[in-house]
Amino acid sequence: MVHTVAMSPFLIILKFFLEIGTIVIIEFLLQRTKNNVPLKNKQILMITLMIGCTSLLGTIIEKLIN
């Protein structure tokens, strides 16, 4: 019993929110560098971890959809 078709809209919406989150992270980085506010090491690690997780989840969702 496979529910791929039923899960597909949920996965598409989840992927959309992950892409929005990635855009927000990139915008945050651009705003910080524009204001000449240095990033701390913990912030850089958290941002890198978030981008990595969203990329990984996006790839998994893409494979599940197709």
Q: Three-state DSSP class for 51?
A: helix
Q: So what's the pLDDT on residue 61?
A: 74
Cα(34)–Cα(52) distance, rounded to whole angstroms?
Answer: 23
Residue 46: what are its φ and ψ, rounded to 5°? -65, -45
Q: So what's the pLDDT on residue 24?
A: 83
* The token pair that represents 25 in the structure block: 């992270």
Angle at 53 between CA 62 and CA 43, to 5 degrees: 150
Q: So what's the pLDDT on residue 6?
A: 53
Q: So what's the pLDDT on residue 66?
A: 67
pLDDT along the chain (66 residues), means of 10: 57 78 80 77 79 80 72
Cα(14)–Cα(53) distance, rounded to whole angstroms?
Answer: 13
Q: So what's the pLDDT on residue 1?
A: 39
